[in-house]
Structure 1
Amino acid sequence: MAAPGRDGELRRTFPAFPVVASGAPDDTRFARTWWGNAWVTALEEGALDPKRLARGRGYAEQGHVDAITVTPGLVLAYVRGSRPRPYRVQVRLRTLDDGDWARFLDAVADRPGHIAALLDGEMPQSLAECGVPLLPGPGDLAPRCSCPDRGHPCKHAAALCYQTARLLDADPFVLLLLRGRGERELLDALSRLSAARAARAAQEQEPEPLPGVRATDALAPQRQLPPLPAPLPVPAHPEQPPAYPAAPGGPDPFALDQLATDAAARAHALLSTGRDPVADLTLWQDAVRLAAARPGSGLTAATRALYSSLASAAGRTTAELARAVAAWRQGGPEGLAVLEEPWDPPAGRFDRARPLLLAADLPAFRPWRNRLTHPRGHVQLRLGRDGLWYPYESEPGHDDWWPRGTPDLDPVGALTGLGASPEG
């Protein structure tokens, strides 16, 4: 899904979805997540005419729903029907009151993993069972359409409801916005609540007496010191860092969370293996690594702020960082080196690649240093020093290469899925 536009914290506009390819004959689900399918179930169980639902689902799959705007309690879009002028469709859903939100925030704060799951685009099922009506039930969706059909819902409103399920699939914060709270407001409230709980727990915990000896005894020249205790066992995995509250003018709490999580992982690796896994990285490589560890790209304000600060610290642009992140996710440090460092490979693997491509009915690729480029200039293979072929793509006629696909020992295998046909 393309990144949504933001007219404000409480208003998000999503571009129209593309046409949906037909699924398997026995696949009757429209959404792919359990919460998206719960939305579809509420629509279908509250509908009065199955035929209108079927027409609406067909409209959704055929791309008849234009850009969708979501605000608290309302989903709005224009849907193209049989007439030239599209219909204005809206679907209303009751927002939650302050008591509901307090119970929801308590349920999320009880388990820190819930916050991470929401940021990763997942809705834990336990949140839907915390006593707060997050998901609609039959009859909770209130559609209205400017068409003359008075069905409940008409096919245009049904199409918008089906497409809304796809929005929920991609980002559960859309459901929370529909229920009345924006992403930033919720995350700030969770940070404050977690910090208050941690402070309260620290106050309630009585300090344990510290064992020790008097300084005069410890420094006595004839005193025999006891042997050191055995080292503690290495934990099985790094611990979850605490929540960091937001403060005016202070650092971004999500950047702090990512840095603390990364430091915990590095410390765990140092304890268990004796070496720091990122000690040999340059400043730029480490910035790319940190950005690549962030799920997705450009979908939230926190992610955009992280990219901007990392790029600025490394003396690069955010566009350069985004391209480097794609290379890092493709092959780690070697993938980044393939992006930025052309080199002259020795005879052998590189020379054998062109006959292999010709044998696979592909055209003669143009060689330059460690790169082989399709004659139409839209697909490229780059040989890494690790012996893998890294696939790249660009718009024809533009020297704007982006890492795509998965590296492979076989140059033909690396092109799988990139559309490098003899004609293309």
Structure 2
Amino acid sequence: MRRTFEAVPARTAREGEPFADSWWGRAWVAALESLSMDGARLARGRAYADEGKVAAITVTPGRVVAYVHGSRPRPYRAELRLRAFTDTGWDTLLGAVAAHPGHLSALLAKEMPHSLTDTARDADVRLLPGGDDLDPSCTCPDHGRPCKHVAALCYQTARLLDSDPFVLLLMRGRGERELLDELGRRNAEHSARERPAAPPVPPSLPAAEAWADRFLPPLPPPLPVPPHPDRAPSYPDLPGARDPLGLDHLATDAAARAHALLTTGRDPLAGLTPWQDAVRIAASRPTAGLTATTRALYRELAHATGRNTTDLARAVAAWRQGGAEGLAVLEEPWDPPAGPFDRARPLLAAAGFPRFTPRRNHLTHPDGSLQLRFGPDMRWYGYESDPGADDWWPRAAPQHDPVTALDALLAGDAVPDPEDTPSYVR
């Protein structure tokens, strides 16, 4: 119910150019000019408006106020009052407007159709003011009606009305949100009244009775499950269309999930966090000789999850090593209970390996280049780092035996890349 508009900067007006662009803005100017008997004051007020001497304008029901800079250092407080509609007037106007859905559409587009003012006039409500509606006042010593400061305010208000006719409706007593809510409600009620009555419902009977004496043949056997999901269609790169790479990825991923559900009854995404799903998506792409497409995918997934591409690449290696369990081994150290973890060091020593240093679920080689991590699934995951760098990367497939896991790590049995894996396995 109170709107304040920033001061409009000065502009250079052309000779004979109307001050307002819209017909309703010009109607406001016409009301101002019909109020005045002194053309010189109006001309001076218009010049003040063009020169940007009108400060911020505040509009409330029935009132427009602004400070206007004149010839003295201290600005004058110019005010323009006009009559706000009564509740009865608003009820009459809104009822008439609701009967014309086009009026609401025009207002939403910041337009005021001529038919809206005609509707208001037919409802005996004058929406646009006349000269007798405006009541000016100013703190300046000039007793003109209006003085040049109020005239400048009026001209500048016409510009506000050009851009938003709801300013005029606020002057008349109702804010934009209140009006739109009320018009929406009244339009719905009006449409409901005009909607034809629903046809009578035909008589019905229970389904059991309808099918009681009907023979139904047995259902055909289900189709065989394909060995792998079909390839996604190719999407052209059209101007303004969605990213074809993104569409291809979504279609491929949806087909793979559907195939997994059909063959295993389990959704690969069930229970995954956004970060785990981002790692799963990146891991489904080949990284042997990273392509520009895969690098772009890594950048987008890392940005979307608040990580960097190195974090994502490391997590992808863990996912390929052991899926969600492998990622948890990378990111979540834990304290294993006594048992297999405690027996690992003697087994490694018996196999001729040096003494590994334990820390939580980690066993680290003395030179700091190899590490075994014990997972909650009771498997050993191999990790490798440059000596002393503490930059651990998953390297080998997990094993249930620590000696076998270390042998695989030393032999360089890397986690397979999807590029080398058949599509039906991927």
Question: Normalized against structure 1, the TM-score is what?
Answer: 0.47
- Bigger-Rg structure (1/2): 2
